[in-house]
Chain A
Amino acid sequence: MTKLTHSFSLSLVAAGLLASTAVDAQSIAIINATVHTSTEQGVLQGASIIMDEGKITAINPAKVDADTIIDAKGQIVTPGFIGSMNQLGLVEVGAVAGSRDGGDDKASIDFDPSLAFNAHSSLIPYARKGGITRDVITPQGGDSIFAGLASVVDLSGEFASEKQTHAALVVHLGEQSKGSRAMALKNLVDKLEAQQQKSKKKKDDATPSTEDIVLTKVLAGEMPLLVTASRAADIIELIKLKQQFSVNLVIAGAQDAVVVKEQLAQASVPVIVSAMESLPGSFDSLHASLDNAGKLEKAGVKVLLSIAGDASHNVYQLRFDAGNAVSYGMTQQGALKAITANVADVFGINAGSVAVGKAADLVMWNDDPFDFKSHVTKMFINGEEVSTEARQDKLRKRYTTDSEMPRAYTK
């Protein structure tokens, strides 16, 4: 556990299992790669990367020394992409209630759906096809504005998946299906103020509740306060809230963030947006546009990209969203960071860039990873090679393979 330097906890059970697999890990070198580092180093041509014990241990060492050496032959290597704002591993089929665990009517500050995370979900190998190696699973919530706690999982698809819980407290503000958004915001402010008062009075021997722990971390700026809101006026109010409580505010949805992009940049508030939203879905998003991600980036806002709509089944498309963001004004490097390093920064994930000490989550591509013509040629999570074969491939093969026998015999 000493390897964990950030403030978030790692599931003890998962960490134990991980440690046991890491012992067997072989060191791997990728050589002759075009490495998109997602750091200030930009793109490295003809580069080599060494992975060992689950981490990137060297970039361009003087001498390449590893158990396995893979010649990329000039192929592009990127950090694994990081999804967010979805229920990967918490849903199998959207309309099958029993397969949905991302929300609960009673969900509140202490709701942690990661307890239900299913590493064997059929969505996970499919997501890997899109170069996704890690994901911020986000509660859907319930009746309260407090949706619950986000967690970070790796997409190895093994029960030993790394699971980083308490990655953010998720709160739903803005447009309400009934009642006023003012009341929703007041509930959040009241909760934070009450916790501040409680902390001042707190007796030393009191055992804190999960809610106390979460709110204390939020107020200390140690846990992001991830708020969904869209309307520019709401975003202004949230910036005030950040200033009042010194919270680590992140705004998701943020369809009209472009209207207040300077204020967001000034207040250092990252936004999680879909690059593909271009319609005024409500009066909160009259400024939705394909140009917005690029405009936010240009204004100096830290931008993270996530998928609109059914983000769990479609997270594999994240790279195409990044491509569209580039097409409509984002820089290539900015779009890459928006699905790697920026997500890692905001959620305290030790991955998302090709740098020594980061998790060895690497993806090799036969062509531009943001365009349809490319596909994953090799993929590593925590330094171990993983497959991109999914149930969908089995089905395709079954129905495109000639056989005298019924299809059911083709496996």
Chain B
Amino acid sequence: MMQKFAPSLLVVALGVAIAGCQDNDPQDEKVTINKNPYPSTYKALKSTTTLITNATVLTGTGERLEEADVLLVDGKVQQVGKDLTAQADLTIDAQGKWVTPGLIDVHSHLGAYPSPSVESHQDGNEMTSPNTAEVWVEHSIWPQDPGFNRAREGGVTSLQILPGSANLFGGRGVTLKNVPAHTMQGMKFPDAPYGLKMACGENPKRVYGRKGVLPSTRMGNMAGYRTAWIGATEYKRAWDKYDADYAAGKNPEVPHRDIKYDTLRGVLEGEVMIHNHCYKAEEMAMMIDLSKEFGYHAGTFHHGIEAYKIADLLADNGSCAALWPDWWGFKMEAYDMVQENVAIVDAVKNSCAVVHSDSDTTIQRLNQEAGKVMYRANDNGFNISEQHAIKWITSNAAKALGVADKTGSLEAGKQGDVVIWNQNPFSVYAKAEQVFVDGAKVYDRYDDTYQAQSDFLLGQK
């Protein structure tokens, strides 16, 4: 692919300095920041026209179809319904089985904190400054992490890798297609927006407070965010002015470039989505106000142990909440867990409840994690169906990642990311039998040909 953007900024900037910067001078070459310097090289595996028949299909849009068929053509879902008559190269009789969209985990550290978790592999959190918005977690990803394969065996077809939560701004996350590859770019989800990891609460104040720098308190956390957004606002203004002046035929001086602020500016411009590690009700409420103070969207709240206390506020703000079913007690801010958190958040109109893992083990069982919530909630007065609960790990997750137009549901035109389960996926006995990404089979429980193995485990006795 041809480089669409300008060559090195440094070279151009030097040129500007030599030429001076009189507005009336002939214009120097326009400096444009390359927003995609590490582009995806992902290519779907080879696929054929595939017809999955006679399954109980949870579409991810809230529907449940019995004895239904799913047709995958050219890597996409072409049709979902009963008695499809299409000619297919491959027909899979899924009688008695369940079919869902591929699962999506919005919060993973696979590749950045890979297995084995030896010291040399601790690449998930640049814990050297409370604001490391300049780091991109994609630069840490080891695609040989065996965890990607285990997650695929659990039906996970897309996942967002986030940097860790020690920092107020932890850096950019990246969304991947869960296919085996030996480069990060080979997994990178084409055209998925970037995420920016932010963190509230105990982690930043503990990690930096110990070092004797701001923040050591929650008010210090807030001051840290606000200071950064003020800087980002000025940065954006400088670049907007440059662009406007240039467009007006002037030859403006090129603003200083700062990759930390490139990311924050991306948020202010709506191109980078916030993913905010934030447990407590009062903190999430303040993060929403903070976003309004600086004119961006507060994005998705992750972990949100107390999201159930502010379910209305989250829905009103259009914020997704990506939650565990039952983790608790490891920190004070995780003490007020309720097992129905996801269900309470979900029950509000315009809500966006997501079940996430943040774990290299529960990512292998997102279906079970959602099942725990569904059944505990139904024990306590809710009436949640399978076709609804599946949204927490498919379409709602896709929405949180900004890829809902591409994946997360079985609708015509969506990417052919599909899981065939041996039974109701919300059972402890459910197993993904076959997994498809972009119409291509990437896992088969009963066919070794489709069972990927990491370089690391190859040849180990």
Is there an interface contact between A280 and B368, defined as CB atoms closer than 8 Å? no
Is A243 located at the chain interface by the 8 A CB criterion?
Answer: no
Give the chain B neighbours of A399 by CB distance below 8 A: 308-309, 338, 344
B361 and A276: CB pair below 8 A? yes
Chain A contacts of B460 at CB under 8 A?
286
Contact bitstring A368-390, B, C-beta under 8 A = 1, else 0: 00111101000000000000000
Shortest 3 CB-CB distances between A and B: which pairs?
A323-B428, A313-B329, A94-B330
**Inter-subunit contact A372/B375 (CB<8 Å):** yes
Proximity string of chain A (303-327) to chain B, C-beta cutoff 8 Å, 1 when within and 0 when not: 0000011101110110010011011
**Among residues 123 to 173 in chain A, which have CB atoms less than 8 Å away from a CB atom of chain B?**
123
Q: Is the CB of B239 closer than 8 A to any CB of chain A?
A: no
Q: Looking at the complex, which one of B147, B332, B374 makes contact with A95 (CB distance below 8 Å)?
A: B332
- Residue contact B309 to A280, C-beta cutoff 8 Å: no
A396 to B326, CA, bound (A): 13
Contacts of A370 in B (CB 8 A): 428
Most buried by A among B330, B336, B427: B330
CB-CB < 8 A to A1: which residues of B?
none
**Partner of A93 from B146, B329, B372, B374 at Cβ < 8 Å:** B329
- Complex Cα distance A382/B118, Å? 45
| Cβ of B388 to closest chain A Cβ, rounded Å | 16
Interface string of B351-362 (1 = CB under 8 A from A): 000000000110
Query: Is there contact, CB below 8 Å, between B150 and A282?
Result: no
Tell me if B116 and A371 are in contact (CB < 8 A): no
A372–B428 contact, CB under 8 A? yes
Is B372 touching A326 in the complex (CB atoms < 8 A)? no
With known contacts A279-B360, A327-B428, A93–B339 Cβ distance under 8 A: no
Residue from A285, A371, A375 in contact with B427 in the complex, judged by beta carbons closer than 8 Å: A371
A150 to B335, CA, bound (A): 26
Q: Does B446 contact A (CB under 8 A)?
A: no
Q: Mark A104-129, 1 if CB is under 8 A from B, else 0.
A: 00000000000000000001000000
Q: Answer whether residue A409 sits at the interface, using C-beta atoms and an 8 A cutoff.
A: no
Given A320-B368, A371-B429, A373-B427: A310 in contact with B329 (beta carbons within 8 A): yes
What is the chain B residue whose CB lies nearest that of A324?
Answer: B428
- Supposing A93-B335, A310-B329, A399-B308 touch, asked if A280 and B115 sit within 8 A by C-beta, the answer is yes
Interchain CA distance A316-B456 in the complex, whole Å: 34
CB-defined contacts of B457 to chain A, threshold 8 Å? 280, 286
A312-346 with Cβ < 8 A to chain B:
312-314, 316-317, 320, 323-324, 326-327
Chain A facing B: main interface SS? loop
Q: Please count the residue pairs between chain A and chain B whose beta carbons lie under 8 angstroms apart in the complex.
A: 111
Partner of B332, one of A96, A281, A313, A323: A96
List, in ascending order, chain A residues with CB within 8 A of B335's CB: 93
B296 interface residue (CB < 8 Å to A) = no
Given A95-B330, A372-B372, A372-B428, the answer on whether A282 and B116 have CB atoms closer than 8 Å is yes
A395 within 8 A of B: yes
* B331 x A93 contact (CB < 8 A): yes
- Separation of A277 and B150 alpha carbons in the complex (Å): 11
For residue A9, CB closer than 8 A to chain B, the reply is no
Taking A372-B372, A399-B338 as known contacts, 17 extra A-B pairs with beta carbons closer than 8 A to each other, sorted by chain A number, are: A93-B335, A95-B331, A278-B150, A280-B456, A282-B117, A310-B330, A320-B368, A324-B428, A327-B429, A327-B430, A373-B426, A375-B379, A392-B328, A392-B337, A396-B338, A396-B380, A399-B309
B283 touches A (CB below 8 Å): no
Q: If the complex has contacts A280-B115, A399-B308, A400-B344, are A314 and B326 also in contact, measured as CB distance less than 8 A?
A: yes
The residues of B that contact A372 with a CB separation of less than 8 Å are 368, 371-372, 374-375, 426-428
**Complex: how many Å from CA A370 to CA B430?**
12
Q: A286-B460, A372-B427, A395-B336 are in contact. Are A281 and B331 (CB under 8 A)?
A: no
Contact of A297 with B by CB under 8 A? no
Q: Is the CB of B428 within 8 A of A371?
A: yes
Question: Are B368 and A395 in contact (CB-based, < 8 A)?
Answer: no
A92 in the interface (beta carbon within 8 A): yes
In the complex, what distance in Å separates the CA atom of A324 from the CA atom of B367?
13
A86 to chain B, nearest CB (A): 12
- A308 near B428 with CB under 8 A, answer no
**Interface residue? B431 (CB, 8 A):** yes
B364: Cβ under 8 A from any A Cβ: yes
CB neighbours (8 Å) of A320 from chain B are 368, 372, 428
Interface centre among B308, B309, B429 (most CB of A within 10 A): B429
Contacting residue for A326 out of B327, B368, B429, CB 8 A: B429
Across-interface contacts of A407 in B (CB, < 8 A): 309
How many residues in A have their beta carbons less than 8 Å from beta carbons of B?
42
Chain B's closest residue to A313 (CB) is B329
Report chain A residues within 8 Å CB of B364: 278
21 contacts between A and B (CB under 8 A): A93-B330, A94-B329, A276-B361, A277-B361, A278-B150, A278-B361, A280-B146, A282-B116, A309-B361, A313-B329, A316-B326, A320-B372, A371-B427, A372-B374, A372-B426, A373-B427, A392-B339, A396-B380, A399-B309, A399-B344, A407-B309
Which A residues lie within 8 Å of B379 (CB)?
A: 375
B74 at interface, CB cutoff 8 A: no
Contact A123 B329 (CB under 8 A): yes
Would you give the shortest CB distance from A80 to chain B, in whole angstroms? 19
Provide the A157-193 mask, 1 if CB < 8 A to any CB of B, else 0: 0000000000000000000000000000000000000
Q: How far is the CB of B458 from chain A (nearest CB, A)?
A: 11
| Residue pair B147, A279 in contact (C-beta under 8 Å) | yes
- Chain A residue at smallest Cβ distance from B311: A399
CB distance from A378 to the nearest CB of B (A): 15
CA distance A276 to B360 in the complex (A): 11
Cβ of B202 under 8 Å from chain A: yes
Q: Least Cβ distance of B259 to chain A in Å?
A: 33
Instruction: Report the bound CA distance from A314 to B362 in whole Å.
Output: 13
| Cβ-based interface call for B340 (8 A) | yes
Name the A residues within 8 Å of B336 (CB-CB): 395
Task: Digitize A84-107: 1 where CB-to-B-CB distance is under 8 Å, 0 elsewhere.
Answer: 000000011111100000000000
The answer to whether B381 has its CB under 8 Å from any CB of chain A is yes
The answer on a CB contact under 8 Å between B115 and A279 is: yes
B375 near A400: Cβ-Cβ < 8 Å: no
Docked Cα-Cα span, A285 to B117, in Å, equals 11
Residues of B within 8 A of A276 (CB): 361
Q: Closest residue of chain A to B428, judged by CB?
A: A323
Nearest neighbor of B281 in chain A, beta-carbon distance: A399
A283 to B120, CA, bound (A): 13
**Shortest beta-carbon distance from A121 to chain B in Å:** 10
Alpha-carbon separation in the docked complex, A280 to B457 (Å)? 8
Nearest neighbor of A374 in chain B, beta-carbon distance: B375
Residue of B308, B338, B361 most packed against chain A (CB within 10 A): B338
Q: Whole-angstrom distance between the alpha carbons of A310 and B328 in the complex?
A: 9
Of residues 333 through 347 on chain B, the ones whose CB sits less than 8 Å from some CB of chain A are: 334-340, 344
List the A side residues contacting B426 at CB < 8 Å: 372-373
Cβ proximity bits A390-403 to B, threshold 8 Å, 1 near / 0 not: 00110110011000
